[in-house]
């Protein structure tokens, strides 16, 4: 395959999923710059191994690489500083804040965002892949590299945790 036709196929088959890649990386790293780095790294890796791409879902293949790149980014971060707990103010500061920002802090939208971000990674990733990317259990199982049964139980557990949090926030609003 010539370089030009490889790049052209890469663009059509892989880079069309750039938004999905960024979304996953962003939720995994919980950091805008981290997501940039991870996606860029993933694209290079994917391009290098593009010739080996076989199988029914290029998107799942690419997302696997994006996930690995994101986890690698997290590893590097952890190596450079002690692991810190998720700081919602720090990490949501970049998101669009409106004049209603103060009111929005108590809204469902706020709690959904913070709720997902605060989930342990193994629940967060399956939830993002299912609810935002609408991938099948089979694809998620391939990306996260766990059996389908595990995808199912992680999704359930993740939703349990999220539901508790959402209910708590609504109770708080009422009181």
- By the criterion CB under 8 A, which residues form the site for another protein? 2-5, 7-12, 15-16, 18-19, 21-23, 26-27, 32, 35-36, 39-40, 43-44, 47-48, 95, 107-109, 112-113, 116, 127, 130-132, 136-137, 152, 155-156, 159, 162-163, 166
- Compare residues 4 and 81 and give the one whose CB is closer to another protein: 4
Map the chain to HEC letters.
CCHHHHHHHHHHHCHHHHHHHHHHHHHHHCCHHHHHHHHHHHHHHHHHCHHHCCCCCHHHHHHHHHHHHHHHHHHHHHHHCCCCCCCHHHHHCCCCCCCCHHHHCCCHHHHHHHHHHHCCHHHHHHHHHHHHCCCCHHHHHHHHCCCHHHHHHHHHHHHHHHHHHHHHHHHHHHC
- Compare residues 82 and 120 and give the one whose CB is closer to another protein: 120
Question: Smallest distance, Å, CB 80 to another protein?
Answer: 22
- Compare residues 25 and 64 and give the one whose CB is closer to another protein: 25
- Compare residues 16 and 103 and give the one whose CB is closer to another protein: 16
């Amino acid at each position: 395959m010539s370089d030009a036709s490889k790049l052209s196929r890469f663009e059509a088959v892989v880079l069309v999923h750039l938004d999905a890649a960024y979304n996953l990386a962003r939720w995994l790293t919980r950091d805008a710059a981290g997501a940039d780095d991870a996606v860029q790294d993933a694209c290079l890796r994917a391009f290098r191994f593009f010739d080996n791409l076989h199988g029914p879902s290029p998107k799942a293949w690419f997302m696997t690489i994006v996930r690995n790149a994101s986890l690698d980014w997290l590893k590097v971060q952890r190596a450079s500083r002690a692991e810190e707990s998720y700081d919602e103010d720090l990490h949501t500061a970049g998101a669009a804040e409106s004049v209603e920002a103060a009111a929005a802090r108590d809204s469902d939208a706020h709690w959904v965002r913070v709720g997902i971000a605060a989930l342990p990674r193994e629940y967060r990733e399956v939830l993002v892949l299912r609810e935002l990317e609408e991938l099948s259990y089979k694809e998620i199982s391939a990306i996260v590299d766990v059996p389908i049964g595990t995808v199912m139980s992680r999704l359930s557990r993740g939703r349990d945790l999220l539901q508790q949090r959402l209910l708590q926030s609504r109770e708080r609003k009422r009181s």
